[in-house]
């Protein structure tokens, strides 16, 4: 009965494919993808990727050119897809056009992506990238929080809401290079005083999009400083690597947090 009741909303608001918006049969696991899109969309889980940043790579290569020269503070980044076409438009709808319902299929996609890794070496806790107060007041929700909460519930891990605080407004990052972004996010975040001990924890850090990785790196650095043993960055999508400039260890030495 409880199960039937839980499916009642589907009668009025049927599940639709995340990519083509076709009405589809009720997706129990939240993975709202029609069979056509399941076979035509490119999922990074089915592609050979960099073992550090998760970008697509030719077979036999382990680290992309960028990761051979960059220093990352996270241990691994996993994305479900490349940030383009339908998934890009869905993320923009989710973030800027109040399509809050899209958190469910996106979180389901992220669960599918992370589950084999979690089963191999289990994680301890889920956190999400923070949002500024101003942005929260404008939007009314933090998209990363909605995703992280659902992922934690689905893979049965504790979720630390508001693990970070965004203490400095940062200018829009979309047109900036990695180095400019690192400068931009410098001192922008801190760990919340209410965050429980992260000592020796294996952490999943959730965000919507991985662009240059500057935000993920600065948040990961805070987690590592707090004693985290491992940080996995999990995002819906990642921008293509060839848009990034090369970033050297000398560059990173200039940047302090």
64 or 163: whose CB is closer to Zn ion? 64
79 or 142: whose CB is closer to Zn ion? 79
Out of 16, 37, 43, 162, the residue judged to bind Zn ion by CB under 5 A:
37
Out of 31, 32, 53, 244, the residue judged to bind Zn ion by CB under 5 A:
53
| Residue 9 DSSP code | H
- What mask of x and - would describe binding to Zn ion in positions 2 to 21, judged by CB under 5 A? ---------------x-xx-
Out of 27, 32, 34, 236, the residue judged to bind Zn ion by CB under 5 A:
34
- 73 is an interface residue for Zn ion by CB under 5 A: no
73 or 159: whose CB is closer to Zn ion? 73
28 or 138: whose CB is closer to Zn ion? 28
Number of residues that bind Zn ion (CB under 5 A): 10
Out of 31, 32, 44, 50, the residue judged to bind Zn ion by CB under 5 A:
50
Residues binding Zn ion (CB under 5 A): 17, 19-20, 34, 37, 50, 52-53, 64, 67
């Amino acid at each position: 009965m409880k199960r039937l009741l839980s499916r009642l909303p589907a009668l009025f608001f049927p599940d639709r494919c995340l990519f083509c918006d076709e009405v589809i049969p009720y997706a129990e696991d939240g993975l709202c993808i029609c069979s056509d899109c399941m076979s035509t969309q490119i999922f990074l889980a089915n592609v050979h990727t960099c073992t550090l940043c998760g970008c697509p790579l030719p077979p036999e290569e382990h680290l992309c050119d960028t990761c051979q020269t960059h220093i990352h503070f996270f241990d691994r980044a996993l994305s479900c897809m490349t940030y383009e076409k339908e998934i890009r438009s869905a993320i923009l709808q989710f973030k800027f056009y109040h399509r809050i319902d899209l958190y469910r299929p996106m979180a389901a996609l992220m669960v599918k992506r992370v589950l084999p890794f979690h089963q191999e070496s289990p994680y301890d806790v889920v956190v999400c990238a923070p949002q500024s107060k101003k942005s929260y007041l404008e939007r009314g929700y933090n998209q990363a929080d909605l995703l992280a909460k659902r992922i934690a519930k689905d893979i049965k891990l504790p979720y630390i809401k508001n693990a970070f605080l965004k203490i400095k407004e940062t200018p829009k990052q979309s047109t900036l290079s990695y180095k400019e972004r690192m400068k931009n996010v410098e001192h922008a975040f801190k760990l919340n005083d209410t965050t429980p001990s992260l000592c020796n924890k294996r952490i999943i850090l959730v965000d919507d999009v991985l662009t240059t990785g500057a935000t993920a790196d600065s948040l990961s650095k805070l987690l590592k400083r707090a004693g985290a043993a491992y940080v996995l960055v999990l995002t819906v999508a990642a921008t293509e690597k060839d848009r990034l400039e090369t970033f050297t260890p000398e560059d990173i030495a200039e940047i302090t947090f």
